[in-house]
Amino acid sequence: MIVDLQRFVASEERYWREIEDVLDSLEKRMERSLSLEEAKRFHYLYQRASSDLARLSAFPFEPGIRQRLEALVARAYAEIHETRLKPHRFSPREWFFQTFPQTFRRHARAFALAVIITIVGSAFGGLAISLDPDSKSVLMPFSHLQTHPSDRVAREESRAKDHMEGHKSSFSAMLMTHNTRVSIFTMALGMTWGLGTIILLFYNGVILGAVVCDYVLAGESRFLAGWLLPHGSIEIPAILIAGQAGLILGKALIGRGSPESLKTRLRSISNDLVTLIFGVGLLLVWAGIVEAFFSQYHEPVLPYSLKIAFGLIELALLSLFLARSGKNSSGKVMKGHEAESQHA
Amino acid sequence: MREEKTNTLIIETPEGISFSLLLAGPTTRFFAWAIDLACITAVTSTLSALLSTLGLLSRDVAMAIVILMYFSVSISYGILTEWHWRGQTLGKRLFKLRVVDEQGLRLQFSQIVIRNLLRAVDAMPFLYLVGGVSCLVTRRAQRLGDYAANTIVIRSRPSLELDIETIAAGKYNSFRDYPHLVARLRQDVPAQEAAIALQALLRREGLDPDARVALFRDIASHFRSLAAFPEEATFGLTDEQYVRNAVESLFQSRDKTSSQSELTHDRHGDIIL
């Protein structure tokens, strides 16, 4: 036990100051790493502060000192026992061309599941609209889709002046923010063990299937492809990736067949979720610009073949990017922990 | 065994040391969020007013900027402030709250992003009902975003020293002239007894007059049996004043004690175990 508290504090103060300085510098510069000697010293200081705290706990009359020491030990504990990859300087280029597509591929099965759910939803929507055309108002809650497709095509193609004039930018901004919100929500609903994500993906599929079927049955396939492909070829995969993130979250919560604890599972996917949702955000910015400035113009202003070709090229590039970008020479995709150990 | 809900999270390190963190409840967090919401509104409305006043851009572009700005500010406010201030937004700073890692480890950027993006679910169906209920039922008062990100929100401990200062504000403590007796008192009074005396002083105004006299008489007589201060130090002191002096001497911080008693020590002397 401590017999003379004042002497104890006086003799330990310099060690506390020293560990405080190390902690300050570590916290100020995230990318800083300690040399072996520094790490050894830091560990010694941490153990010394820990034992000081243990001694002080039998001496409750110095709440100020105890609180200070407790805070010091807590901070040092966070540094000493942190085993996750330390944040290094962020490189947007590396993140976009390597981290994002690699993360996407690592969870390819979740993406495939998102695609399947959307396809099932589309089939349902398509079937519903073809068997029961009256269900249009329920399946497609958008006013501009309520009229007969041929009427809309005739109206769009007969416009004499630029109908988007004066609100292209705000429309684009509205699309970007709305779609990003929906994507974030799709991912966040993964917290319902993935159920909410599945429902949202299915619902999106229903709307998509119903619209496509409606226009195809009316013989307006060319208009449809020209209207949807330029932005849809990016926007729909983006929503699917958000669904992928939601399903990853749901899977981590369920954790069936995994020997890891729930906390560990959640911890291990956190970086991937952030990467995917930021990627989705970027894709949606592009889709928003294309939808407002390009998709809304039809023949005779823009030939459908050009719009369809543009959409297909986008889709091909996106597929190539997600499938190939950031692959190492052997073509092997690194798993999360492998990547971490390589960095370390 | 089912762990009970508590307002304190105790983290035990592999070295056998434990430190505790006070968990923040949903009400305080709700107020902090209200402040944050006010900040977001203030920032966006100021910027949009500025844009329209300047009139440099067309109405369409200005509107687009306002939409994007509102979106970015509302999404990034929590992420950037919590990253910059290590787990605190303006509202949290005001209410002395802080987001920390659930295991006491370093807070990661991805954790901050996830807990902020999952607000979308916590805010459902209105006014953070899902998040609030989740805070009430989970053991560590976590909303769904915290749960997914492995984070908790803690509040700073109220300063104990402040309470003691309030008790002894402006009062002369005759015990200070007898540092050796104060030292004996500090050594002989067990922690629990000292805490009882402190609590009695903090709650004294709420006590029934008779109970107050009886309580302080008991505590004072116990302290007297442990360290007998000379008569000139205790002359004219009521039991309550006696306990107040004793508590102040027990809890007073080291710096004040040493400056008051003008004790000099060998600062390089080692400790005696």
CA–CA gap between residue B39 and residue A78 (Å, rounded)? 31
* Partner-chain contact B254 A54, CB within 8 Å: no
Residue B42 contacts A, CB cutoff 8 Å: no
Q: How does B218-240 read in b/e, with b if 16+ C-beta sit within 10 Å?
A: ebbeebeeebebeeebbeebebb
Shortest CB distance from A78 goes to which of B106, B160, B254?
B106
Residue of A nearest to B248 (CA): A61
Shortest CB distance from A191 goes to which of B86, B148, B186?
B148
Residue A89 contacts B, CB cutoff 8 Å: no
What are the pLDDT digits (tens) for B138-177?
Answer: 888 889 999 999 999 988 765 555 455 666 656 677 787 8
Instruction: Please report which helix (H) or strand (E) contains residue A213, including its range.
Output: helix A195-217
CA–CA gap between residue A46 and residue A28 (Å, rounded)? 19
* Partner-chain contact A77 B19, CB within 8 Å: yes
**What integer pLDDT is reported at residue A4 of this predicted model?**
65
Nearest to A114 by CA among A248, A257, A278: A248
CB atoms within 10 A of CB A206: 24
Residue B196 contacts A, CB cutoff 8 Å: no
Per-position pLDDT tens, chain A of length 344 = 555 666 777 788 889 889 888 888 887 766 677 788 888 999 999 989 888 888 877 666 566 677 778 888 888 888 887 766 655 667 888 999 999 999 999 999 999 999 999 999 999 999 998 888 878 877 777 776 777 777 777 777 777 666 666 777 888 888 888 999 999 999 999 999 999 999 999 999 999 999 999 889 888 888 888 888 999 999 999 999 999 999 999 999 998 888 888 888 998 899 999 999 999 999 999 988 888 887 777 777 778 888 899 999 999 999 999 998 888 644 444 444 444 444 43
What are the pLDDT digits (tens) for B234-272?
Answer: 788 888 888 888 888 877 654 444 444 433 333 333 333
Instruction: Please report which helix (H) or strand (E) contains residue A245, including its range.
Output: helix A221-254
| Beta bridge mates, B152 | B100
Rg of chain B on CA atoms, in Å: 26
Distance to chain A for B110, nearest Cα, Å: 5
Token digits of residue A302? 């823009």
Contact B70, B62 (CB under 8 A): no
Chain A positions in Cβ-Cβ contact with residue B11 (cut-off 8 Å):
74, 77
Residue A3 contacts B, CB cutoff 8 Å: yes
* Partner-chain contact B11 A77, CB within 8 Å: yes
Where do the structural domains in chain B lie, given as residue ranges?
Answer: 8-155, 160-261
Q: Where does residue A203 rank: exposed (0-12), middle (13-18), buried (19+ CB within 10 A)?
A: middle
CA–CA gap between residue B30 and residue B132 (Å, rounded)? 8
CA–CA gap between residue A154 and residue A174 (Å, rounded)? 26
CA–CA gap between residue A201 and residue A175 (Å, rounded)? 18
Residues 198-237 of B with CB under 8 A from A: none
CA–CA gap between residue A238 and residue A241 (Å, rounded)? 5
Q: Specify the higher pLDDT residue, A175 or B56.
A: A175
Residues 75-94 of B with CB under 8 A from A: 75, 86
Contact A125, A210 (CB under 8 A): yes
CA–CA gap between residue A296 and residue A98 (Å, rounded)? 33
CA–CA gap between residue A63 and residue A65 (Å, rounded)? 6
Where do the structural domains in chain A lie, given as residue ranges?
Answer: 5-80, 92-343
Query: From edge to edge, which strands make up the β-sheet containing B151-155?
Result: B8-12, B18-23, B151-155, B97-101
Contact A61, B182 (CB under 8 A): no
Nearest to B105 by CA among A47, A264, A18, A337: A264
Distance to chain A for B185, nearest Cα, Å: 11
CA–CA gap between residue B25 and residue B7 (Å, rounded)? 8
Q: Which amino acid is at A301?
A: V
Residue A53 contacts B, CB cutoff 8 Å: yes
The DSSP annotation for B134-190 comes to HHHHSTT---HHHHHHTEEEEEPPPPHHHHHHHHTTT---GGGG-HHHHHHHHHHS-
- Residue B151 CA to chain centroid, in angstroms? 18
What are the pLDDT digits (tens) for B28-41?
Answer: 899 999 999 999 99
Does residue A325 come out as left (phi exceeding 0), alpha (psi in the -120 to 50 range) or beta? beta
Residue A178 contacts B, CB cutoff 8 Å: no
- Residue A302 CA to chain centroid, in angstroms? 34
Chain A positions in Cβ-Cβ contact with residue B144 (cut-off 8 Å):
191
Mutation site, A1, A3, A4, A6, interface B, largest B CB count within 10 A: A6
How do B18-23 and B8-12 pair as beta strands? antiparallel
* Partner-chain contact A62 B150, CB within 8 Å: no
* Partner-chain contact A10 B118, CB within 8 Å: no
| Whole-complex ipTM | 0.81
* Partner-chain contact A4 B267, CB within 8 Å: no
Chain A positions in Cβ-Cβ contact with residue B198 (cut-off 8 Å):
none
Highest mean pLDDT, choosing among A239-243, B125-129, B172-176, B217-221: A239-243
Count of pairs with CB atoms under 8 A, one residue in A, one in B: 174
Residue of A nearest to B180 (CA): A4
Residue B125 contacts A, CB cutoff 8 Å: no
Token digits of residue A125? 């929507």
Residue B25 contacts A, CB cutoff 8 Å: no
Contact A149, A214 (CB under 8 A): yes
**What integer pLDDT is reported at residue B273 of this predicted model?**
31
Instruction: Please report which helix (H) or strand (E) contains residue B154, including its range.
Output: strand B151-155
**What integer pLDDT is reported at residue B206 of this predicted model?**
80
Token digits of residue B249? 């001497």
Chain B positions in Cβ-Cβ contact with residue A74 (cut-off 8 Å):
11, 19, 21, 104
Residue A82 contacts B, CB cutoff 8 Å: yes
Token digits of residue A140? 């497609």
Residue B125 has pLDDT above 90, yes or no: no
Token digits of residue B93? 């700073």
CA–CA gap between residue B66 and residue B74 (Å, rounded)? 12
Shortest CB distance from A170 goes to which of B67, B144, B253?
B67
Residues 104-123 of B with CB under 8 A from A: 104-106, 108-111, 113-114, 117-121
Residue of B nearest to A170 (CA): B64
Shortest CB distance from B17 goes to which of A7, A54, A267?
A54
Altogether, the residues listed in chain A come to a count of: 344
**What integer pLDDT is reported at residue A138 of this predicted model?**
78
* Partner-chain contact B157 A168, CB within 8 Å: no
* Partner-chain contact A167 B102, CB within 8 Å: no
